[in-house]
Structure 1
Amino acid sequence: MDQVESRLSDMSIVSNDETKWGWSLTDLYRNALSFYKEKAGKAVQFTYEDNLKLVAFSQQALHGPITSVELPPLGAFDVIGRDRRVAWQNLGTITKSQAMEGFIDLLDRSCAAFKPYVEAIKKDREEKERLAQEQERRRVEQLELERQQEISRKLLDEQKSREEQQKRKLQDALNQQTYVQFRAYAEKQYPGNPEQQAVLIRQLQNEHYHQYMQQLHAQISTEKNEKIDAAEQSNGDAVATSGTASTIATSNHLNLSPKENSQCDDKEECESDQDSDGFPPIAPAQMWTKPDIEQFKTEVAAGKGEGIIKVGHGDIVTVRVPTHEGGSCLYWEFATDSYDIGFGVYFEWGKPTSSEVQVQVCDSEDDDEEDEDEVELQQSNDIESGGNGPTSPPSPVARFRPPISSVVPVYRRECQMEVYVGSHTYPGEGVYLLKFDNSYSLWRSKTLYYRVFYTR
């Protein structure tokens, strides 16, 4: 007993709060006791003396010294029971912590598999802790992400609310500008039916708003590109810069559909704007679309066939519509069967010589020759360009050609998908030139359905 107490007194005393092999003493003892119960007599064989000591250490760790426990008497033939009590008595008054450490040290000396077993449990515990920390980190990140998303949703809702308010204000302003014309058109389409008229007016107002926004975005993009191009040009490109500024001015003047806001690439259009000097400025046209294309074609075909034209490939058809003395506004509608077509509107100033609507057809080559004649005429009258100046007589065509103003630049319209509709208030007496341009098509002819009328 003295030897056992002496050996235990030499051991390093470890309290329950201290660690051993990276474990607290209580947890390490608990794992050691589980190992002993599972392996003893099965995977691991202990000597009889070691078994007695291990049992004694476990009893001391559980109950304390044997003198503090009331034990039942042993039988006469219970040799193992007496040996265990003797081993327990030999531990004397060592503390429970000392008994736990003694159990662990003896188990480590007696079984080489014990320490690897404990290390494996430790690694498993560390892995679980790592996974728990990772899960907690992910949970915190998810909470932060949800918080950021909630902030973004609030900001987006506020932005949408502001945009919706701006949209309503813009729609109200546009509706005030177009209500009279749209009402006149609706009364023409549904006479004596106020409900259908109101539905059509709302539809036209919505389509007008969307076209206006598309035009606005296209205009901003065009101006941005033109500024970039102007910055890249050298100081010697003054003529090109002047042409760009003229294009921007024309684009800003027309404030309806983006299709009307295209650059003035056609020479006749640009020259027409120059020829109209001295006349009142042209107000912008109104343009929108409506989806009932088949009904429109049926209505046009039900007439005398005057509203159906075959526009050949490479051709440009001009429909001349004179202003009417009893009217104040021109309306037009058009659509095609299968393919798009270019469309533009011009106004020829002067008193009309006829009240009849006329259709003129020319191919793109004839148009180019006419433009070349006009350029030669301008050069012959321009002393700075090397012409003969006033001594060169102008041609009769140039001398008596009425001035022309651009109302809607020629631009390709997807009129095979929906009916394109527009209106323009008379700027004065003259002839409207509705141009249907198929000059870009080398092979396809287009079947055009159109209708024009005026309102008071």
Structure 2
Amino acid sequence: MEKSVTETVDCGIMSVEDVYRLAREFLKAKEGTKALNLSYEDRNMINVLSKQAFYGKFDETKIKVGFLDLVGKDRVQLWKSLSNLTREEAMNRYIQLINKVCPLFYAHLEAHKRNLEDEKNRLKLKEEEQHREKEMMEQKEKKLKEEDLKLMEENKKKREEIQRKQIQEALNQQTYPHFKAYAEQQHPNNPQAQEELIKQLQEQHFEQYMSQVYQQQLIHQQQQAEQLRALKKSQKKQEQQTEEELKKLSINETAPSVNHES
């Protein structure tokens, strides 16, 4: 479909400057071929619009015109008449003119826009895929960390359980003679009742022992926390004192000396 010179060309996702640059490249590639047959007026307009887009208002130093240079004189007058066009307006007029004089440019532009759209969509899909992969990787890492923490916790519980059993076995060996003697007094001639009582007493003794151990650990942790707080407080106080001394030193160094004349 051919567009008229007065109709604005749809730039799509391209900027006017990008389409203008594409039009210049297209003109250079097609110039001298059958696809492009420019009239005298069109050639002059293309030349002048290029200068207006590049230099802005008419500048006689940018165009050399000889005494018999009729083409140059026509272009000077044309440039003067278009001198109020903004850079973007000049580029738009240039694009519209190329589109008018060579309908193939419209197809070339549309193909170029489609390529850009395809590339944009490709990059978007790539970014989305990378985002999905990143999320999957983060979820995988999170799951691995959770599994590691769970495994560490399970191993910790196993170690604690082994330690508890070792402590309990050691305590049972120590207390067995004493508890056995007591059980025999409580249940003479009844081995089953004696064993049950021994087991009950050993469990009570173990729980009391572990309670004391946990209490001592808690006290030790509290003492460590208090020592750490005291250390931080001391360091902060020392830093404040050092800062105050530096301020005093700075004031003394910057204070002007006073000479007293007798």
- When the two structures are superposed, what TM-score results if normalisation uses the length of structure 1? 0.31
- Secondary structure, in 3 states, of the residue corresponding to 2:151? helix
1:120 aligns with 2:111: yes
- Secondary structure, in 3 states, of the residue corresponding to 1:20? coil
Deviation of 1:145 (Å): 1.9
Partner of residue 20 from structure 1, selected from 10, 23, 28? 10
User: Do 2:63 and 2:76's aligned partners in 1 also have CA atoms closer than 8 Å?
Assistant: no
Are residues 164 and 78 of structure 1, via their aligned partners in 2, closer, same or farther at CA, if it must alter by over 3 Å?
same
**Per-residue deviation, residues 56-102 of structure 1 (Å, max 9, x unmatched):** 22112222342x44346423454543343344344353333332222
* CA distance, structure 1, for counterparts of residue 154 and residue 64 of structure 2: 94
1:158 aligns with 2:149: yes
User: Do 2:36 and 2:101's aligned partners in 1 also have CA atoms closer than 8 Å?
Assistant: no
Going by fraction, where is strand more abundant, 1 or 2? 1
* CA distance, structure 1, for counterparts of residue 85 and residue 112 of structure 2: 29
Mapping 1:228-243, distance limit 5 Å: none
1:56 aligns with 2:48: yes
Q: Which amino acid aligns with 1:63?
A: Y
- Secondary structure, in 3 states, of the residue corresponding to 1:51? helix
- Secondary structure, in 3 states, of the residue corresponding to 1:74? coil
User: Do 1:63 and 1:69's aligned partners in 2 also have CA atoms closer than 8 Å?
Assistant: no
* CA distance, structure 2, for counterparts of residue 42 and residue 101 of structure 1: 24
Are residues 86 and 48 of structure 1, via their aligned partners in 2, closer, same or farther at CA, if it must alter by over 3 Å?
farther
Deviation of 1:38 (Å): 2.4
User: Do 1:60 and 1:96's aligned partners in 2 also have CA atoms closer than 8 Å?
Assistant: yes
**Per-residue deviation, residues 295-341 of structure 1 (Å, max 9, x unmatched):** xxxxxxxxxxxxxxxxxxxxxxxxxxxxxxxxxxxxxxxxxxxxxxx
User: Do 2:49 and 2:93's aligned partners in 1 also have CA atoms closer than 8 Å?
Assistant: yes
Are residues 80 and 69 of structure 1, via their aligned partners in 2, closer, same or farther at CA, if it must alter by over 3 Å?
closer
Deviation of 1:31 (Å): 1.7
Are residues 173 and 91 of structure 1, via their aligned partners in 2, closer, same or farther at CA, if it must alter by over 3 Å?
closer
Partner of residue 25 from structure 2, selected from 19, 28, 34? 34
Are residues 33 and 175 of structure 1, via their aligned partners in 2, closer, same or farther at CA, if it must alter by over 3 Å?
same
Deviation of 1:174 (Å): 7.8
Report the counterpart of residue 75 of structure 1 in structure 2: 66
Mapping 1:99-118, distance limit 5 Å: 99-118=90-109
User: Do 2:56 and 2:83's aligned partners in 1 also have CA atoms closer than 8 Å?
Assistant: no
Deviation of 1:123 (Å): 0.9
- Secondary structure, in 3 states, of the residue corresponding to 2:61? coil
Q: Which amino acid aligns with 1:20?
A: D
Are residues 169 and 119 of structure 1, via their aligned partners in 2, closer, same or farther at CA, if it must alter by over 3 Å?
same
Deviation of 1:107 (Å): 1.0
Mapping 1:224-263, distance limit 5 Å: none
User: Do 2:52 and 2:90's aligned partners in 1 also have CA atoms closer than 8 Å?
Assistant: yes
Q: CA RMSD in A?
A: 3.3
Are residues 169 and 101 of structure 1, via their aligned partners in 2, closer, same or farther at CA, if it must alter by over 3 Å?
closer
Report the counterpart of residue 158 of structure 2 in structure 1: 167
* CA distance, structure 1, for counterparts of residue 133 and residue 119 of structure 2: 21
* CA distance, structure 2, for counterparts of residue 156 and residue 43 of structure 1: 73
**Per-residue deviation, residues 255-288 of structure 1 (Å, max 9, x unmatched):** xxxxxxxxxxxxxxxxxxxxxxxxx9xxxxxxxx
Q: Which amino acid aligns with 1:130?
A: N
Deviation of 1:172 (Å): 5.7
- Secondary structure, in 3 states, of the residue corresponding to 2:103? coil
Report the counterpart of residue 98 of structure 1 in structure 2: 89
* CA distance, structure 2, for counterparts of residue 83 and residue 46 of structure 1: 20
Are residues 151 and 92 of structure 1, via their aligned partners in 2, closer, same or farther at CA, if it must alter by over 3 Å?
closer
Are residues 176 and 60 of structure 1, via their aligned partners in 2, closer, same or farther at CA, if it must alter by over 3 Å?
closer
* CA distance, structure 1, for counterparts of residue 129 and residue 33 of structure 2: 44
Going by fraction, where is helix more abundant, 1 or 2? 2
User: Do 1:74 and 1:81's aligned partners in 2 also have CA atoms closer than 8 Å?
Assistant: yes
Are residues 76 and 40 of structure 1, via their aligned partners in 2, closer, same or farther at CA, if it must alter by over 3 Å?
same
* CA distance, structure 2, for counterparts of residue 175 and residue 51 of structure 1: 102
User: Do 2:57 and 2:83's aligned partners in 1 also have CA atoms closer than 8 Å?
Assistant: yes
Q: Which amino acid aligns with 2:47?
A: V
Report the counterpart of residue 217 of structure 2 in structure 1: none
Are residues 48 and 177 of structure 1, via their aligned partners in 2, closer, same or farther at CA, if it must alter by over 3 Å?
same
User: Do 2:52 and 2:83's aligned partners in 1 also have CA atoms closer than 8 Å?
Assistant: no
Runs of 5+ in structure 2 lacking a partner? Answer: 170-191, 193-262
Are residues 173 and 40 of structure 1, via their aligned partners in 2, closer, same or farther at CA, if it must alter by over 3 Å?
same
Are residues 72 and 45 of structure 1, via their aligned partners in 2, closer, same or farther at CA, if it must alter by over 3 Å?
closer
* CA distance, structure 1, for counterparts of residue 90 and residue 115 of structure 2: 27
Q: Which amino acid aligns with 2:51?
A: Q
